[in-house]
Amino acid sequence: MPTFLFILPAIIYAAVLIFAVGIVWHFIYWLRSPNPLKIPSGAAPTNAVGTFIRASSEIIFFTSLGKGEKGLWLGSYLFHLLLLMTVLGHLRYFFYPVPAWVLFFSSLRIYTVFIFMLSILYLIIRKIAIDRMRYISKPIDYFYLLVLFSIGLTGLIMKFVARPVLVDIKDFILHINALSPIRLPETVGWFFILHLCFVLLILIIFPFSKLMHAGGVFITPTRLMINNPRLKKHINPWADKEWTEKLKDSANEADSYKPWSVEQWSKRCQR
């Protein structure tokens, strides 16, 4: 226990570094991938303004999901919205003094955590109860949800059962932020350590898992491409460099071809 508390700041820095580098690497990989075709899905807008409005609606309201199964949309929307509100409420431990907007979300945190956990339970039950969802769901899909549920559960235990010394927690986090780490005080209790370990686990696996859909939605071609293939020629730079040279070579070969003369054909027929 004392050794783990001593090295915990190093584990936190490593988890944050893996999270940040993984996110950046993923975005660079996605942005460098060629888009050989115009592939906007559905009745996509034909101008930039309409595409921006469509993408914003998708990110904020999950509109495409809402056009499908309403129950899944409600559970997923509550899950993501309350997760965001819970994270914003936890920023009170990272600021001193605490901004007013952070205090607002922090005051709602107890309600958001309850509904957040109920939404996770709904998504888990849905995966188990519906045949097609049970068929396509892998064990890792349940693992993500159970880790997030454990984060909420340990938070509620600290709220109602084993309350830690919040001043010591905030002091520890502020020292981490200032890059002058200190040993985590034992007064924070085991449930806070478990709570923190679950959060670090999510940070480490986030960039390399399905959870990266939270970042991919901002650059997905099917939502961000303008639907104007009949108005403007779409040229993929990757295809332009490689295939245009091959087409030029083929055209040169065709230009170099000269049809046989009558004398040549006569000689060929006499053979």
> Mind listing the pLDDT tens digit of every residue in the chain (271 residues)?
667 777 889 999 999 999 999 999 999 998 887 777 788 887 788 888 888 998 898 889 988 888 888 888 888 888 899 889 989 999 999 988 889 999 999 888 888 888 889 989 998 998 899 898 889 889 999 999 999 999 999 999 998 888 888 899 999 999 999 999 888 888 888 899 999 999 999 999 999 988 888 888 888 888 888 888 778 777 766 665 666 666 666 666 655 556 666 666 666 666 5
Integer Cα distance of 71 and 129 in angstroms = 13
Distance separating alpha carbons of residues 49 and 198, to the nearest angstrom: 41
Q: What pLDDT does 185 receive?
A: 85
With the CA atoms of 158, 159, 160 and 165 taken in that order, what torsion angle do they form, in degrees rounded to the nearest 10?
60
Give per-residue burial for 207-217: e unless 16+ CB within 10 Å, then b: beeeebeeeee
CA dist., res. 83 & res. 104, Å (int) = 15
Q: What is the pLDDT of residue 206?
A: 93
Q: Is the pTM of this model over 0.85?
A: no
Predicted local confidence at residue 14, as pLDDT: 95
AA letter at 187: T
Residue 252: per-residue pLDDT: 63
pLDDT score for 241: 60
What is the tens place of the pLDDT at every residue in 46-100? Answer: 888 888 998 898 889 988 888 888 888 888 888 899 889 989 999 999 988 889 9
Sign of CA dihedral 69, 70, 75, 81: positive
How confident is the model at residue 204, as a pLDDT? Answer: 95
Helices (H), the chain: 2-32, 48-61, 63-66, 70-90, 100-107, 109-129, 131-136, 139-160, 166-177, 190-205, 213-216, 221-224, 237-256, 262-270
Q: Quick one: DSSP state of residue 33?
A: S
CB 93 within 8 A of CB 82: no
Which residues contact residue 209 at a Cβ distance below 8 angstroms, ignoring those fewer than 6 apart? 140, 144
Residues 10 and 182: their CA atoms lie apart, in Å, by: 10
Q: Cβ–Cβ contacts within 10 Å for residue 186, how many?
A: 13
pLDDT at 265: 66
